[in-house]
Structure 1
Amino acid sequence: MNKKVLLAVASMLLSGSAFAGVVVIGNPATGDALNAKQAEALYLGKSKSLPGGMQATIMELPDGNPMRQEFHSKVTGKSESQLKSYWSRLVFTGKATAPSEQGSTAAMKAAVAATPGAVGYIDESEVDASVTVLFKP
């Protein structure tokens, strides 16, 4: 019986991450790469511009999306409920505007590719010439 439980747990752990790895992407005109602190600051509304000075347009996936959960656990260290509370305070006080929400990683990639200064995140396996990788957590 213990062996079955261990196999079930191992199976869940191995299948839990179906992604090659989340990466922060930008429009090819965005310029410089980001470091961990810069990516965190952008996604927490603490910074509104990219390292080269261009105004940043931050894009998010919807609540409940596994890629969003993976991204925020690696980059901001916040859970979905913490993010919701955090952004509600920022928006309510007028300190920041909530990121633009994209319905899927394909929509995120297309929106980032079409918007100078845009920053988003997708699975590394989805990266092509239409976007540039700015940071890999």
Structure 2
Amino acid sequence: MKKLMLAGVLSLCSVSAFAEVAVIINPSNTSTIDIDAIKKIYLGKNKSFDNGTKVSPVDQNGTAVADEFNDKVVGKSSSQINAYWSKLVFTGKGTPPGKLDSDQAVIDFVAANKDAIGYIDSAKVSDKVKVIATF
């Protein structure tokens, strides 16, 4: 019984030990934004950075990092996010962020676009992008 309980506790610890999610922008972008602003960007409520520059958010397509970001930052599950955006698209009130399939694709997109914001596994951060927050 003790071994079973120990295994359960260890498995819970390994789930919570998931790598942090890093929110990244282009290194030439001088904006500073907090979690509330990031959430609003990913919900389509903010269309620009604090300095007035248009923002181009990019999402990840069905990755564990996307699930972690949605949970920690947006406060919704991935299925709730999909339902939210489906409603906005159907009513003509919004367009969801573009979706890419990997951390490297997000890094490349953000590095190539001054107005981009994205998120990746913090272990994958490179000098091509600037980290503005980790969760």
Same fold (TM over 0.5): yes
Q: Which of 102, 107, 111 matches 1:109?
A: 107
Q: Matches of residues 71-86 of structure 1 in structure 2 within 5 Å?
A: 71-86=69-84
C-alpha displacement at 1:100, in angstroms? 0.8
TM-score, normalising length: structure 1: 0.91
Q: Give the partner amino acid of 1:54.
A: T
Q: Describe the SS at the equivalent of 1:94.
A: coil
Aligned residues: 135
Deviations along 1:26-51, one digit per CA (max 9) or x if unpaired, are 11122212101101100111111111
TM-score, normalising length: structure 2: 0.92
C-alpha displacement at 1:17, in angstroms? 4.5
Contact 1:113 1:130 in 2 (8 A): yes
Match of 2:10 in 1: 11
CA distance in 2, matches of 1:73, 1:17: 12
Instruction: Give the superposed CA RMSD.
Output: 1.4
Gaps of 5+ in 2: none
Match of 2:42 in 1: 43
Q: Describe the SS at the equivalent of 2:132.
A: strand
Extract structure 1 runs of 4+ deviating beyond 2 A: 17-20
CA distance in 2, matches of 1:123, 1:57: 19
Cα distance change of structure 1 residues 27 and 69 upon mapping to structure 2, 3 Å threshold = same
CA distance in 2, matches of 1:79, 1:47: 20
C-alpha displacement at 1:123, in angstroms? 1.6
